[in-house]
């Protein structure tokens, strides 16, 4: 039986830069940092000799964002930026001011798909990519 969703993982090129983006721009807190190396992580990720640097970040007590920098093997470029590709994913953040956060993210290396748009009464949202190409959605819901 599932207890709750624990975390979402994003592969990043440079862990320190990714932490700065998600901490200083998006507003998440760093919960922990660690490295994984050895047979256990080799088995989990499916790479012999895997070496990962990880930061676990969050905004609440339940769900976290796991930022993963592969030191070995080196990461490859994503073959497409299309969102409709099978296996494509995104992480959505509910925010207080979608327009302000959208602009701050763009000013700090994010790429926009669309500016904030009212998708239904009281709900404004936008899609963008973080500096490493991971898809994020910002949602503002009027109360």
pLDDT digits (tens, 9 = 90+) for 65-93: 999 999 999 988 887 777 778 777 899 99
pLDDT < 50: residue spans in the chain: none
**Domain count for the chain:** 2
| Residue 78 belongs to a domain | no
Same-domain status, 13 and 52:
yes
Same-domain status, 56 and 103:
no
SS3 104: helix
| Residue 1 belongs to a domain | no
Gyration radius of the chain's alpha carbons? 16
| Residue 123 belongs to a domain | yes
| Residue 85 belongs to a domain | no
Alpha helices (runs of H) in the chain, residue ranges in sequence order: 15-20, 39-45, 98-107
Same-domain status, 96 and 68:
no
Residue (of 112, 104, 132) closest to 14 by Cα position: 132
- We report the CATH number of the domain holding residue 105 as 3.10.180.10
Same-domain status, 95 and 126:
yes
The set of residues, in sequence order, having a beta carbon less than 8 Å from that of 3 and lying 6+ positions away, is none
Q: How far, in Å, CA of 74 to CA of 54, rounded?
A: 14
Q: Residue 32 is part of which domain span?
A: 7-72
What does the DSSP assignment read for 14-38?
-HHHHHHIIIIII-PEEEEEEEEES
pLDDT given for residue 143 in this prediction: 80
Of 24, 42, 72, the position where a domain reaches its end is: 72
Same-domain status, 63 and 103:
no
| Residue 31 belongs to a domain | yes
| Residue 115 belongs to a domain | yes
Of all residues in the chain, the percent with pLDDT exceeding 70 is: 100
Same-domain status, 11 and 68:
yes
Same-domain status, 99 and 126:
yes
CA dihedral 97→92→90→10, nearest 10 degrees, is: 90
């Amino acid at each position: 039986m599932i207890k709750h969703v624990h975390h979402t993982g994003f592969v990043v090129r440079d862990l320190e830069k990714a932490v700065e983006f998600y901490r200083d721009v998006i507003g998440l807190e760093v919960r922990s940092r660690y490295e994984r190396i050895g047979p256990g992580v080799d088995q989990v990720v499916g790479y012999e000799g895997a070496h990962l640097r990880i930061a676990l970040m969050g905004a609440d007590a339940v769900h976290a964002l796991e930022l993963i920098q592969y030191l070995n093997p080196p990461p490859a470029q994503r073959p497409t930026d299309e969102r409709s590709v099978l296996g494509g994913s995104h992480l959505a953040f509910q925010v207080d001011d979608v327009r302000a956060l959208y602009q701050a993210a763009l000013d700090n290396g994010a790429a926009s798909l669309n500016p904030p748009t009212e998708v239904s009464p009281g709900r404004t949202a936008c899609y963008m990519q973080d500096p490493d190409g991971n898809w994020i959605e910002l949602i503002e819901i009027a109360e």
